[in-house]
Structures are given as structure tokens and as C-alpha cells.
Amino acid sequence: MDTQAQEPILELNGIYKSFVDKTGDKVGVLQDISLAIPQGSITGIIGKSGAGKSTLLRCMNLLERPDQGNVFFEGTDLTQAPRDILRQKRHHLGMIFQHFNLLSRRTLEDNVALPLEIAGHPKAKRRKTAQSLLNRLGLSDRENDYPSNLSGGQKQRVAIARALAGNARVLLCDEITSALDPETTTDILHLLRTLRDELNLTIILITHEMSVIRAICDHVFVMDAGKVAEQGPAEHIFSRPKHPATQALLKPFLKQSIPEFIQDRLQEKLCETKENKAILRLIFSGASAQEPLVSQFIRKAHTDVNILAGFMDQIGDTTFGTLVVEIPNNPAILEQTCTFLSTRGVAVEQLGFITHD
């Protein structure tokens, strides 16, 4: 999806935020963060805990006021806006949370109607909107139920309905799937994607799980120690992670592409006495994943390629895959391999050698 050409709906400019910790030291949680969120995109912000992603999300609707920098939402600088303007803008910046944050003593209908109540809409309208949202999110006939009778996934649906009730154009999602089981996680993420398509929402998700990013995000920001370590389209971040922080987050994914029995035999150096084979990891993404590059290469280089492991997956709309292959350890062939594949958009990584008796 081409979202880059549009004017960003949300823009952060040189955001700094620091807290004073228990020992009285000042800790820079966010250091010079600038980012632009295109209208209609699903953006993931990923990082390990303590990377500052949660604070960053709270800076977007000014639940945390940055020490320095500006937050533009639909052209308005929220950091400079008077309180009542900020409150009005917040109606359009819905937020959902890891622990749902539903009011235990309100029925589902009254929970969903809360933003409308806050904005001062009449009761009839609140009722109508809340019921139609509950219907849309698959909770019809439960408007008089209380949150304690719901499962985690249902609670998150109510929370999404509530966030949308105030006519939200942006959804800020704070680790919204971390308290859910994998199946419910998939449900909720698909729901978000559907809502984005139908309502032209802009969704910003923070998470520490690459699987969430993989499921729905178009664009990714990787946070590390209060800075944006790396950013780009999701498929690039997955296929060619540059920053160590990204690589660390991706490890669970990449590891599964090298089976243990190969990992065990893998050696960093050549063994002089035995025959060596070079082990390469080829990372395909986008167009390169669709082409028969391996067979093309075999024909071209007249060499044998032994495929040891591989997997294919989808990240957003892009196919992405890795292959672990074994080729003869011959400098000429190795170089030819790298050149051929690199020019066709495949990232080649030499993992090491395996010896054969």
C-alpha cells in the first residue's frame, strides 16, 4: 500500500522525555525521537521492555508531556494546544490497553458510551452508537452484561468499541495482545486490520513481539534505549535487520530457519583435514521470493546446491523466506553465488562450514 505520499496524520518532532529514578538520577527515556505516521497505515513500534516505547505512545496523545519536541496531530501541535483543544483532539485519538481498562461497574453499553458521555452527547445517541459498535464487534445482545463476565478477547473487543465510539481516526494500541492467548491475539489483530480497511483508521501498535508486527504492520520502528534504532517497511526489517536490537528481537524467527542438527555441526573455521562445505543463509523478500532463483543459479554456476532448511512466511502483504543451503567451499563459486543473488535482491549471509568425512 502506498501511504508514503500522503500527508502524515501524526508526526513527532524531536521528542525528549526523561524521568527521575529512585536514586535521583535523571534517565533519558526518549532521546530525540522524530517520526511520521501516514494516514491509514498500521505502524508497529517494537522494542524490549524499557526501550521507551510505552512512553513514546503516551507522548502521542500527551498522556505524557514530552520535555522537548512537538506532536502534530492532523496539523495541530498538541504540545502547544490549550487544554480544551487537546481534550477535543483526544476524542479522535482512541487508545486501547494491555489490561483493557474497562470500568467494572458499568455495563458493556455504558463502557462503550463513556467517550460520548465525556463529550456531552445526549443519551439516545450514546445508546445507539454503543449498540451498533457492540454489534459490529460481535458482542450483540450483551450490552447489559458486565466486563467481569467476559473473556480477555471479548474485553479487548469492548475496549476497541469504546476507543472507536468517540469517532477515533487513530488507534493507539499499548501491548494490546500481551494478555491474550495466541488464538485470540490473531483474532484481535485481524479485527484491527478489517477496521483499518473499513474505517480508514490509522493504527499504531507497540509490542515486544515480532509476531504481532508480522501479522499486521506495514511499517516498523525498532526502539532501543530511547532511540529509534531502525525503521522501514515491515518486510525490510524482517529480511534485512541491520541494528543489533532488531537482530536480537528477530532471533526467535531466524533461529527456526536453522535446524538444531545443522547448528550443532556448524563450524566457524575451515577444517584442514576434511572436506568442507560452505553454509549460506539466503533471505528472500518481496519479489525475490516469487522467482525460481535457486534453480536459475544452479544452471548458471553449474554447481550443486543442497537445501538444508527453509521456511516461507508472510509479513503483512509481503512474502518473506529464508533458505539454508550448502554449497562446495570454492572461493570462485562462493563469490559468484553472492554476486548473482545480491543483484536479484536476496540477502546472503555466510553462516560457517560443515565438514564431511
Q: Which residues bind another protein (CB under 8 A)?
A: 61, 63, 86-91, 93-95, 97, 99, 101, 103-106, 114-115, 117-119, 146-148, 162, 166, 172
Count of CB atoms within 10 A of residue 175's CB?
20
| Nearest to another protein of 107, 330 (CB atom) | 107
Residue burial 27-55, b: 16+ Cβ < 10 Å; e: rest? eebbbebebbbbbbbbbbbbbeeebbbbb
**Do the beta carbons of residue 37 and residue 11 sit within 8 Å?**
yes
Distance, in Å, from the CA atom of 100 to the CA atom of 157, rounded to the nearest integer, reads: 9
| Nearest to another protein of 94, 226 (CB atom) | 94
CB 137 to another protein: min, Å: 17
CB 159 to another protein: min, Å: 8
Distance, in Å, from the CA atom of 256 to the CA atom of 313, rounded to the nearest integer, reads: 12
| Nearest to another protein of 80, 295 (CB atom) | 80
Count of CB atoms within 10 A of residue 126's CB?
20
| Nearest to another protein of 170, 283 (CB atom) | 170
Distance, in Å, from the CA atom of 322 to the CA atom of 241, rounded to the nearest integer, reads: 13
CB 20 to another protein: min, Å: 12
CB 197 to another protein: min, Å: 24
| Nearest to another protein of 92, 344 (CB atom) | 92
Quickly list DSSP for 133-189. Answer: HHHHTT-TT-TTS-GGGS-HHHHHHHHHHHHHHTT-SEEEEESTTTTS-HHHHHHHH
| Nearest to another protein of 91, 208 (CB atom) | 91
Return the amino acid letter for 321: G
Distance, in Å, from the CA atom of 326 to the CA atom of 20, rounded to the nearest integer, reads: 53
Q: Give Cβ neighbours of residue 16 (< 8 Å, ≥ 6 apart).
A: 28, 30, 31, 32, 33, 66, 67, 68, 69
CB 191 to another protein: min, Å: 19
CB 215 to another protein: min, Å: 24
CB 95 to another protein: min, Å: 4
Residue burial 219-232, b: 16+ Cβ < 10 Å; e: rest? bbbbbbebbbbbbb
Query: How big is the chain, counted in residues?
Result: 357
CB 94 to another protein: min, Å: 8
| Nearest to another protein of 97, 340 (CB atom) | 97
| Nearest to another protein of 146, 340 (CB atom) | 146
